[in-house]
Every structure is written in structure tokens, then in C-alpha cells.
Amino acid sequence: MFKRLISSALVFGMAAIAPPARAQNCAPREIVVERMERQFNETLSSAGLQSGRSQDVIIEIWSSSQSGTFTVLVSHPTGLSCMVASGHDYFIVPEHKRRNDPAS
């Protein structure tokens, strides 16, 4: 009886302190884009192609000049987009004129 009580306490105790399951951060791109535009008032700010994986992916930065929020998405050729980061106080660094100095 005592063994069962200790075993049950351990099982339920471990379940209580286990980390929560991660939220699903991927969806079809059209759904993600609609949510970025409607819910967060964000628009596509910049994007680039990342090669070197089994599939090339597009890294996108969505931002809102009104709220200062931003979201980083990874869009796959399969049509799936995954949110990998988000934050606030987004700003754009102005381009500086390049000098003919190799150290710049």
C-alpha cells in the first residue's frame, strides 16, 4: 500500500512540474498573413532567402509602425509559415552612405 501511495505521488508530482506543451506556431501562410494584418496591423517589412537546409526557406519580418510590434516568420515552399520570434519597440535603422573604406 505504501509503495503505491509513493508511486502515485511521484507520478502526479512529476506531471505537475512538467513543462507545458509548446503552442503550435505554424499554419498555412494565407492564414498567418491574414492574422498579421488584421490582428496586429503588421505589414511585410523585409524578407530574404535562407539556403543550406533540405529546403530553402524565406525569412520574413513583419512590423507595425503604429504599435511598434514585429514578428519573424519562416515560410516554407510547402505553404506553411512558422512564427519564430515576436516583440515590440521595432525600429528601422537608416542606411548610411558607404565610404570607400574597407573597414566600414
Residue 2 lies in a domain: no
Tell me the per-residue pLDDT of 84-98, one tens digit each, with 9 for 90 and over. 999 999 988 877 655
Tell me the per-residue pLDDT of 29-74, one tens digit each, with 9 for 90 and over. 999 999 999 999 999 999 999 997 788 999 999 999 999 999 999 9
Residue 10 lies in a domain: no
Residue 79 lies in a domain: yes
Residue 92 lies in a domain: no
Residue 1 lies in a domain: no
Residue 16 lies in a domain: no
Domain boundaries, position 68: 23-87
Residue 66 lies in a domain: yes
Q: How many domains does the chain have?
A: 1
Contact 3, 11 (CB under 8 A): no
How many other C-beta atoms are found inside a 10 Å radius of the C-beta of residue 52?
Answer: 6
